[in-house]
Structure 1
Amino acid sequence: MAMLKKYGWTNFQQQYVDQHNKKDLSVGRVISIQGFKYYLITEKGETEAELSGKLLYSNTQDELPKVGDWVFYMDYDPTGYIIEVFKRVNALFRKTPGTKTEKQILASNIDYALIVQGLDRDFNMMRLERYLVQITACGIKAVVILNKTDLVDRPEEFMAETEKLQRDSPVYLCSTYTGYGLEVIKHEVLKPFKTYILIGSSGTGKSSLLNSFSDRSIQITQETSQSTQKGKHTTTARSLYRLSNDSLVIDTPGMREFGVTSKEGKDESELFPVIHKLASQCLYADCKHIHEKGCAVTAAIVNGTLDKHVYESYLKLLKEQNRFEVSAADKKRMDKQMGKIVREANNFRKKYKS
């Protein structure tokens, strides 16, 4: 397992193999997906694979392999066939863009999410809070990277704004243009054999960061559009790269939408720590923190210990989470009813034919 350990193999994956005695199959990790082709890292090196028919036609989209997944595959030459996806340690997902109430998995088996914001027009506290809430709900640790310090006069002011969120996630300032702060991030954040994912909008400098973390150019970069001041997409697909210090980084395309899903079993003490801390001082245990008498949360806004934008973000994200949970429950109920109708129709046909 020497090669696989370099790509994040842990006791979690070893236990899965031990419990699923499949000695006739080989093991690999998905490092890239290009159309219907899956690229795996294996003990032999990189291997191209496709989905087996059983996996392709019997699983939902969430159950199909994603970048970061560990899989069993049949080792044929030159193409392997993926048979089964290992149980995941975690998965980073968002609400599917648009009106559908569904989840879209971005990648799996992640140790840290590197949230990148540019200190130009991209910096947005509410968007940052959205990332932090969803990443926490997925059971992943977050690190905030504020890039493009060369474009502002006082980058420490943005650091102070970020700290108003009162979260445990570390925050780093850097510039991929001047090199400021990059060595600190490389030495303090990127650890050998740990898996990281870069998250952020187009034009924040994710691909430039990835290149700076490596000893070679991995991704092509582009300038921000001068006409729209919006970032240009450079990364077109999620891919996992092994860097010179043995850390593993998944690059992702820029995302205009990053919708939150349900709380995923987390409570407000994890998703909204500053609100939870204040809520313990409210007069009523069931306080909704809107207009109730004796609310410590709204009082904190008045006395300045809670930033108004943090409070507004909390209300908005909580509403989105509740809406997603209700819509998902309705969809599940409708699917169950439709399944019952289909079964009854099939039974009727069988009875009619007989």
Structure 2
Amino acid sequence: MLITFVRRRRDVPFSHLFWLFGAFILGCGFTHFMEVVVTYHPVYWFSGLVKLFTAVVSLATVVALIPIVPRALALRSPEQLEWEVAGRTVELAEANAALREGEERLRLAVESADIGTWDYNPVTGALRWSDRCKRMFGLPPDAEVTYPVFLDRIHFEDRDRIDKRVQGAIGPKGDGSINVEYRACWPDGTVRWVVARGQAFFEGEGAERRAVRFIGTVVDLTDRKRLEDELWKRAKQLVEADQRKTEFLAMLAHELRNPLAPIRNALQVIRLAKDDPDLVEQSRQMCERQVRHMVRLVDDLLDVSRITRGKVGLRRERIDLGAAVHSAVETARPAIEGFGHQMTVSLPERPVHVYADLTRLAQVFSNLL
């Protein structure tokens, strides 16, 4: 029975002792049996062999017990084993509780950050998306998701690029990581920007290396992309506004120089023609007109908001077109005479009235001259 038990339970410690005890019991049984036999048949030599066998087995058992006794004494009792099992059960329960708490914290963090999760098995093709991940792609929570469905939800301009990145990450020579931005298209045509980050897990080496799991997260970037576009447009507008301001200031510098020449000429006329009141009055009126023109230009220069927008204010009123022509001629006359040119102005006998800005119209005519 002992031998049969040991043969079936190979995990029993000190199994060789069971063999020795089995042989010893068997030897003792044969010894007693031979004592009965020799009563009727004097085969003492065979009885002696059986006793010798029993003695040898007994000595072997004693020798085997010497190193085993300390080890056997160190074995824990059933009560100790029960206490150890109970302690490990408590530790396991605490570990499971900590694991559940960690999973709950991770779930709350994922939900608070509005992060979608995905889990892809490249071997079986199984793909699992969280409800948040499905919502980012415009899918209902009960939708069945496969890799072709995922590709179909990607904008056609990004589809090939993302497919190549995924296949490269999970390929035999891939590093397993992915971090890409792309556009997701909803069934109703809505386009959302998302960023996907993931890590693949491999088994095997060399040519046998293959990805067995690919997990990651998805975050909606639509609001951030919209803000980036708005910031880019605003920056572009600021650059354009600065350029318009530079152009506007250059124009004003040119316009401010134009009235100075007729004012200088008028002052010379006033100084030289003191005895001609009519000529002095005419020169004075010319100075007043040019000064008003310069005041208008300075007002434009001080209006920074209009400069940055590239808009010039117009003060429309009913004016005589001839007055604008005369103002332009007054401004341009010093330059015309300086080059030795002659200019003839021909105006209709009756006034021509228009609804315009006298100063701006005079600027246009002056620049043309």
User: Which of the two has greater helix per residue?
Assistant: 2
User: Which of the two has greater strand per residue?
Assistant: 1
TM norm structure 1:
0.18
Higher relative contact order (CA 8 A, sep 6+): 1
Larger of the two Rg values belongs to structure: 2
